[in-house]
Amino acid sequence: MLMLIYWGIPFFLFIFGVLVYVSNQKHLLAMLISLEFIVLSLFIYLLMYLNLFNYENYFSMIFLTFCVCEGALGLALLVSLIRTHGNDYFQTFNIL
């Protein structure tokens, strides 16, 4: 029962993060926050998996490095889009 709770909580966190990401959000910042929430739940899964098999936690540091790079890239895109368009609404972007 306790193992189900340990593996179930990050699963529900991941599902809720995906539901927020898939829902029709207006702001880019809300989408970036939901992506970071998904990455955080995947990091919890990774730590639990590595501790289950007694592996080194070095891979978790590499994963965190990539997560930080992803967050910094997202914030840089957010700042550049706000400077060019004046807001962070998805409706004002002409992606195509």
Q: How far is CA 67 from the centre of its chain?
A: 8
> Cβ distance 20 to 14 under 8 Å?
no
Structural domains in the chain, CATH included, are 2-92 (1.10.287.3510)
The pLDDT value recorded for residue 59 is 86
Q: pLDDT confidence of 96, banded at 50, 70, 90?
A: very low
Q: Residue 55 carries which DSSP code?
A: -
Q: What is the pTM of this model?
A: 0.82
Classify 89 as helix, strand or coil: strand
Q: Position of tokens 């990091």?
A: 43
Query: Taking each helix axis from N to C terminus, what angle separates 28-52 and 58-85, rounded to the nearest 10 degrees?
Result: 180
Q: What is the pLDDT of residues 18-63, one digit of tens each?
A: 999 898 778 888 888 999 999 999 999 888 888 888 887 788 889 9
Q: What is the pLDDT of residues 57-94, one digit of tens each?
A: 788 889 999 999 999 999 998 898 888 888 888 776 66
CB-facing half-sphere around the CA of 25: CA atoms within 13 A:
17
